[in-house]
Chain A
Amino acid sequence: MQKTRRAFLCGSAAAASAALLPAPALAQAKARVVVLGGGFAGAACARELQRAELRAAVTLVEENPIFTACPFSNSVIAGLREMAAQRFGYDAVRAAGIAVLHDRALAVDPQRRLVSLSGGSALGYDRLVLAPGIDIRWGALSGYDEAAAEPMPHAWKAGEQTLLLRRQLEAMADGGTVVISAPANPFRCPPGPYERASLIAYYLKMKKPRSKLIVLDAKDSFSKQRLFQAAWQQLYTGLLEWVSLSNGGKVTSVDPATRTLVTDFASYKADVANVIPPQRAGHIAEIAGVADQTGWCPIDPVTFESRLQLGIHVIGDAAIAGAMPKSAFAANAQAKVCAAVVAALLRDETPSPPKLINTCYSLVAPDYGISIAGVYHPVNGQLADVEGAGGVSPADAPPDFRALEARYAEAWFRTITAESFG
């Protein structure tokens, strides 16, 4: 029945003639798209849809009236940046003609195509876009529950946690020990733990040079590893120690009461402990039935439609996007492709296979930036790297190249936030 309605509405009519319809007919004719989650994926998708498909009524549901960005929050932790620079509102999203509801989705009924909100209302949809980001898997690391995030902040969702970790570092005496625990793949922002280690090391070097930073890792390799390690050797020798999985780095439990991190081989008592815990797709993904047993959401690489529920698209960190990392750039790029796909589907057109780009900067010091880039396309049902493209910054680059990439990193943040939030 929806098909009939859509065929009548959209059919072969050109955008130009639809724009000539009288207002009431146009209002009736609008297809309904609901976007859950207002981060780099959700906000961008809503805005792009509004631009691409004038005949769709777009609703964005986001609990928080202010979005707090994760990229560059490591600079806030290290005291190099203020939190105000991380905050973005939804005024421009609203001004674009999108209905923004600061509410929480409690349930999704994929059969009736209905989203129930905590405020009591329900939203019907023709297409639903889920962009819920990540949730922490509380308890997946023994001892790390919600209460443990006070004495041992994760700071992996930007906001109060970011400021808490910063305050703990500021309160620590010179000569203290900071311990970071990095999780196994997959998790939000693959180079994030190592950028954080770099910038905390920078803070310690400047302010508390007798201190020590230990990174306990559940992995043997990580994003931009050679570049990070070369920079650490150059800038933070004797201050920063990385313990790999094979060297006993995997944290198996924590004790928040004593700020102790336990591995199979040793116990580390920290003055400041930053536990970056295992993660999964935001909870609504599980409720909607689009998350699989891994906790993440399998999708079609052309349409970003869930492999588990028709009519629901998943973008951003929550999606299993093959070779694409869980980054803000990737989330924003996926959002724009998904918007074009949804617009095409609402016109009963077949979406073409996309290509997507990711570019991701990390700072190892304020004037020392490194990057990784990739180009992706669908191959055998997965988003795969385009061979011969992408890769990391050159290993032998001179200081002015690193300084330029640090400048580009900051410009990228201004660009991607404007691209997402207006």
Chain B
Amino acid sequence: MSGSARSVATRPTASRAVTLLLPLVFSVAAAAAEPPAGASSCTGCHAASAKVDTPVPRILGRQPAEIVAVMQAFRSGERPSTVMGRIAKGFSEDEIRAIAVWLATQPAAER
């Protein structure tokens, strides 16, 4: 647990750098940034494709602060949910932040 948290903790810095470069080399940066722990599972429910009809909110390309706030509210139980409360409890604050920063770099309807 501490092992994975430590290796993840180095990532937000790198991802933030990517975010800053975003307007310049958008597609290259998005393709090169490896998803932080847990991030690539999200689109199993939160559709990456624009063509999918779903009541589940899309999360790619959102502001990191928005994702972090919602995840924290799911984790504490302050925000009611069906499955997200159960999932959010599996991630530390650092991990949530890294995921949120990465999600923001992902083009919303690319796939």
Q: State the A residues within 8 Å of B (CB).
A: 14-16, 19, 48, 51-52, 54, 329, 332-333, 336-337, 340, 343-344, 352-357, 359, 371, 373-375, 377-379, 386, 388-391, 393, 401, 404-405, 407-408, 411-412, 414-416, 418-419, 422
Contacts and interface: CB of A to CB of B under 8 A. Distances in A.
B82 A388 contact: no
Given A404-B82, A408-B55, A415-B44, A19 B87 contact: no
Contacts of A15: 28, 31-32
B3 A353 contact: yes
User: How many B residues touch the partner, as a band?
Assistant: 35 or more
Contact of B87 (A340, A357, A416): A357
B34 A344 contact: yes
Contacts of B25: 16
Nearest to A371: B83
B90 A412 contact: no
Contacts of B3: 353
Contacts of B49: 415, 418-419, 422
A16 B31 CA distance: 10
Closest 3 CB pairs of A and B: A375-B90, A389-B90, A355-B38
Which residue among A19, A389, A405, A407 has the maximum number of chain B CB atoms within 10 Å of its CB?
A389
A359 B52 contact: no
Contacts of A344: 34
Contact of A379 (B1, B7, B56): B1
Given A371-B82, A389-B90, A329 B32 contact: no
Which residue among B34, B42, B53, B95 has the maximum number of chain A CB atoms within 10 Å of its CB?
B34
Given A353-B4, A359-B45, A379-B1, A52 B87 contact: no
A332 B46 CA distance: 13
A405 B36 CA distance: 28
B89 interface: yes
24 contacts: A14-B32, A333-B41, A336-B35, A340-B35, A353-B37, A355-B41, A359-B44, A359-B45, A371-B82, A377-B4, A389-B89, A391-B86, A404-B82, A407-B55, A408-B55, A412-B44, A414-B52, A414-B53, A415-B52, A416-B45, A418-B51, A419-B44, A419-B47, A419-B48
Interface string B60-93: 0000000000000000000000110011111100
Nearest to A351: B34
Contacts of A355: 4, 37-38, 41, 90-91, 95
Nearest to A329: B44
A389 B86 contact: yes
Contacts of A371: 82-83
B8 interface: yes
A354 B38 contact: yes
A373 B87 contact: yes
Contacts of A354: 37-38
A340 B34 contact: yes
A355 B37 CA distance: 5
B40 interface: yes
Contacts of A19: 28
B13 interface: no
B45 A48 contact: no
Contacts of A389: 86-91
A203 to B, nearest CB: 26
Given A354-B38, A418-B51, 20 more contacts: A336-B41, A354-B37, A357-B41, A359-B45, A373-B87, A377-B1, A386-B89, A388-B90, A389-B90, A390-B86, A393-B82, A408-B55, A412-B44, A414-B53, A414-B54, A415-B45, A418-B48, A419-B44, A419-B47, A419-B48
Contacts of B38: 354-357, 375
A15 B41 CA distance: 24
B87 A333 contact: no
Contacts of B32: 14-15
A15 B28 CA distance: 7
A19 B32 CA distance: 12
A346 to B, nearest CB: 12
Given A401-B82, A415-B47, A357 B90 contact: yes
